[in-house]
Structure 1
Amino acid sequence: MSSSAPLADPRDGSFKRQASSFREVISHSHPVFKPAASRYWLYVSLACPWAHRALITRALKGLTSVIGVSVVHWHMDSKGWRFLPFESQETDNRNLCFGPSGGVKCLPHSKPTNGVTSESYRAGIDGTIDHNYHLSRLSELYYKADSNYGGRFTVPVLWDLETQTIVNNESSEIIRILNSGVFDEFADTDTPSINLVPQELEKEIDEVNEWVYDNINNGVYKTGFAGKQEVYEREAANVFAHLQKVENILEKKYAKLIENYGEKAAPSKFFIVGEQLTEADVRLYTTIVRFDPVYVQHFKCNISTIRDGFKMLDLWLRNIYWNFEPFSSTTNFDHIKLHYTRSHAQINPLGITPLGPKPDIGPL
């Protein structure tokens, strides 16, 4: 299926996410997919929280010069994701693909969207071309990998330029591949080494990821795409119950950090698991940074905003956004707001994009 947006199951009104189809890894021992610089490519949407995970991890690991990026247009129509037309671009500058967000500039605030339409093809603003094959649709890339492919055409896609196929299209596995160390020998030397899944924290990271994914990351989708009132109310209540769970964890943690290190040093150790940035922060961030700008109004997650109802979670969000450049440089509020409000006709049939909230994210 390649519909413009997933729909609720008509039998019970609930939203069910499709499992990913390509699940290979990259390693020195793999018979095909071995680590190398400039061999692999990411196809992403800046609006998509799952693709955003991969972009953040790529930047944190110093791999922006190792793995290139192509960015689909923010608007997803009935045929799925599309690239900017190759014919409309004067140059095919691959150097732009090796920045944090693939050559599309990310700002700490969204711009007025009056006059911007789904047919706006502004290079470096609405998306990019497909730099490798000049394809018009992401679906064409899937069919290039498997001519009999029958699933939805999702992002992110980790692509192998050598064998011309998809290595993996499951975001949780892609970020583990990027973090695994297989590309460390090619990484940017000026990027501090970071392991997002240190062995001593792995069990706790996995446990947090599991309930955050089901109840928050995917919970906002189960709320927004609910097909029945009772399903929506159940899912919305569940999202906020688990946001409160995160809030309680962070509140206790911050108080302990102040006690141990003082108020000035506490923010530098203020993370979900342990006292360092981990994969748990990356995976939660991509939902929370979208919450106030789109999920509150578009997915009807409006019991509260993050900034008004969850003081510690908001502090954690602002701390990460403003103090860790790989997060801010890959967060595009224009793509986020335009995509959700103009791609889901069954939720927002008039395609009107709200002006607020202002600001998209609070100051540090």
Structure 2
Amino acid sequence: MGRLIQGQWLTDDKLAELEAKAYQASGGKFERGTAGFRNWITADGSAGPSGTGGFKAEAGRYHLFAALNCPWAHRTLIYRQVKKLQAVVSLSLVAPLRTDQGWVFDRNQPRFRDELYQLNAMYELYLKANPEYSGRVTVPVLWDKQQQTIVSNESSEIIRMFNQAFNHVTGDTQDFYPQALAQEIDELNGYIFHHINNGVYKAGFARTQAAYDEAVTGLFTALEVLELRLARQSYLLGEEITEADWRLLPTLVRFDVGYFSAFKCNLKMLRDYPNLSRYLKALYRVPGVAQTVDLDIYRAGYHSKSPLRNPHGIVPAGPVPALY
């Protein structure tokens, strides 16, 4: 989907050689990059765990750029809903299809139009923050309208900010990362990220049989582990929803319509796991969550035309997950 190199946008054809070398070095395994902006919004503007200070939680100051088809951005959309931040943090959605210009907006569709700066492509925002930026152009992006810069493009940290920094603004005191469970949440997050959230991508983007086999085995072993865990409790860490649940939901809700066929994660469908299916329905029914889900966009996005995975761009008719 292209990349910025010292402020210049390079399309995939110009990056093909670099990516081929990266796959060769990894033994055909898919390796996810890291985020380039790691500042934190805090209640008083003091510095967070990384980056610099000066990002005080204030209504109307921040803007979220996201994509409906991106599972990492989906986390932030969920938190914006469940933490009642819709009137506090404004939102722009990119069109749900990446192009040779990366993530782009569509001025012909109000839903996917950028009303903040009338941007055409997300890389323009990255250049607004840093004209010499080098790296991948990803969503989500949390933007500071006051300082005209990117606060963070790391989804796991954006949801931590949304969880706590704006509580005094919204009056919402739900805590999905309670300190008493912090270590357990972190450990479970790591396991789920490696084997499930990123595991589906390691399977779908594998370029050797060995890399694919390893990813699929790890993925379905982890799903079985969670299926057993949910046989004895409502949520991953007991009877209350935590961050670990919200980080898992985007992968589960995309599984049957996307990963099962497009990424060859096809040993079982999610509907074949009764406890995981019940759990997904419970999360989906939390007020506000359904508005962040679009199964048609997921199905079309994961089956979009791809020289490696789907050369003819045929979008399957089903399946239809039972979410209600």
TM-score by shorter chain over 0.5? yes
Q: Secondary structure at the match of 1:42?
A: strand
Query: Is 1:123 equivalent to 2:110 in the alignment?
Result: yes
Bigger mean CA offset, 340-349 vs 229-238: 340-349
CA distance, structure 1, for counterparts of residue 148 and residue 295 of structure 2: 32
Query: In the comparison of the two structures, how many residue pairs are matched?
Result: 302
Cα offset, 1:344, TM superposition: 3.9
Q: Quick one: which amino acid aligns to residue 16 of structure 1?
A: E
Deviations 1:149-187 (A, max 9, x none): 11111000000001111000000000001112x212222
Q: Secondary structure at the match of 2:310?
A: coil
Deviations 1:70-104 (A, max 9, x none): 0000110122100012xx4xxxxxxxxxxxxxxxx
CA distance, structure 1, for counterparts of residue 316 and residue 113 of structure 2: 28
Bigger relative CO (Cα 8 Å, ≥ 6 apart)? 1
Where in structure 2 are there 5+ consecutive unaligned residues?
A: 4-10, 48-52
Q: Quote the residue 2:100 is aligned against.
A: 78
Q: Quote the residue 2:160 is aligned against.
A: 176
Q: From the superposition, tell whether residues 211 and 123 of structure 1 become closer, same or farther in structure 2 (CA, over 3 Å).
A: same
**Correspondence list, 1:80-229, <5 A:** 80-85=102-107, 88=108, 122-124=109-111, 128-180=112-164, 182-187=165-170, 193-229=173-209
Q: Secondary structure at the match of 1:324?
A: coil
Where in structure 1 are there 5+ consecutive unaligned residues?
A: 89-121, 254-269
Percent identity of paired positions between Structure 1 and Structure 2: 40
Deviations 1:218-267 (A, max 9, x none): 000000000011211111111001111111111133xxxxxxxxxxxxxx
CA distance, structure 1, for counterparts of residue 239 and residue 182 of structure 2: 13
Cα offset, 1:363, TM superposition: 4.7
**Correspondence list, 1:159-308, <5 A:** 159-180=143-164, 182-187=165-170, 193-253=173-233, 270-308=234-272
Q: Supply the RMSD in Å over aligned alpha carbons.
A: 1.7
CA distance, structure 2, for counterparts of residue 35 and residue 194 of structure 1: 17
CA distance, structure 2, for counterparts of residue 343 and residue 18 of structure 1: 23
Cα offset, 1:199, TM superposition: 1.5
Q: Quick one: which amino acid aligns to residue 210 of structure 1?
A: G
CA distance, structure 2, for counterparts of residue 329 and residue 320 of structure 1: 12
Cα offset, 1:274, TM superposition: 2.4
CA distance, structure 1, for counterparts of residue 150 and residue 256 of structure 2: 34
CA distance, structure 2, for counterparts of residue 352 and residue 250 of structure 1: 35
Match of 2:317 among 336, 339, 355: 355
- Do the aligned residues in 2 keep the contact of 1:38 with 1:67 (CA within 8 Å)? yes
Q: From the superposition, tell whether residues 342 and 363 of structure 1 become closer, same or farther in structure 2 (CA, over 3 Å).
A: closer
